[in-house]
Structure 1
Amino acid sequence: MDRVAKAASQNKVVIFTKTSCCMCHSIKGLFYSQGINPMIYELDEDNCNGREMERALRRLGCNPAVPAVFIRGRFVGTANTIMTLNLHGSLKNMLMDARCRL
């Protein structure tokens, strides 16, 4: 859990993903299309800590574990939550409040 918290707090926007996950690809594309360059942690490419971090994300309530989005170190949600926030305009407001470039 500490590794997830530390990684999530190192950048304004952090997304935990897997390279083989289509929803992860969609969420990354959503942020890129808004001019946000998030820190991406590809859990399936991290042979040392990837599985441990995935278990920690599940303990946080992420089901599925990826994509998991953190803004300013705070867990915001997985794909469904992020898409809903985006549709309602709340995601953009959250990013502006976090002083992310839009």
Structure 2
Amino acid sequence: MTEFIQNILKSAGPNGVVVFSKTYCPYCANAKDDLSSIGIAPIIVELDRRSDGEDIQAALLRMTGQRTVPSAWVNGVHIGGSSDVYHHVHQGGLFRNRKQIFAARKYAEHSGIQHCGAENGTPCIYLGDSD
């Protein structure tokens, strides 16, 4: 599973943002909403929609020491969970570079990625099913 995670992190596109999530998790929804509010188009891996989701979550625990989701990453670096994403979005932090946002939108438009519900039409990559 560690190799799967590393491959996802490497393929994160120009903004480099990946969120390991569960569809029913309110903290995950908050993190995704915070990212969308500033135009970030993350790769979203919904662990509860994958047959190997528990294995991925166990590998994330071994890699980060964080047991819960969301597990947010930027450019291959684990930044934490929902409150960490909130802090980075609302305090500037890692997402201050607006060029990354526009590059992410351009990448998404040319790669067939679907809109994931952000008010501004921000696309996302959804990796739900492992089959």
The TM-score with structure 1 as length reference comes to: 0.83
Query: Do structure 1's residue 101 and structure 2's residue 101 form an aligned pair?
Result: yes
The correspondence for 1:27, drawn from 31, 34, 52, is 31
| Aligned twin of 1:39 | 43
Q: CA deviation at 1:19?
A: 0.4
Question: Which structure has the greater CA radius of gyration?
Answer: 2
The amino acid across from 1:13 in the alignment is: V
> Which runs of 4 or more aligned residues in structure 1 lie more than 3 Å from their structure 2 counterparts after TM superposition?
none
Q: Matched residues in 2 for 1:68 and 1:9: separation?
A: 16
Q: CA deviation at 1:9?
A: 1.8
Structure 1 35/87 Cα, relative in aligned 2: closer, same or farther at 3 Å?
closer
Q: Residue deviations 1:15-56, cap 9 Å, x none? A: 100001000001001111111111100000011x21111001
| Aligned twin of 1:55 | 58
The TM-score with structure 2 as length reference comes to: 0.67
**How many residues are paired up?**
97
Q: Matched residues in 2 for 1:32 and 1:86: separation?
A: 10
Q: Matched residues in 2 for 1:75 and 1:83: separation?
A: 14
Q: SS at the partner of 1:35?
A: coil
Structure 1 81/24 Cα, relative in aligned 2: closer, same or farther at 3 Å?
same
Aligned-CA RMSD value? 1.7
Structure 1 55/46 Cα, relative in aligned 2: closer, same or farther at 3 Å?
same
Identity percentage of aligned residues: 28
Unaligned 5+ residue runs, structure 1? Answer: none
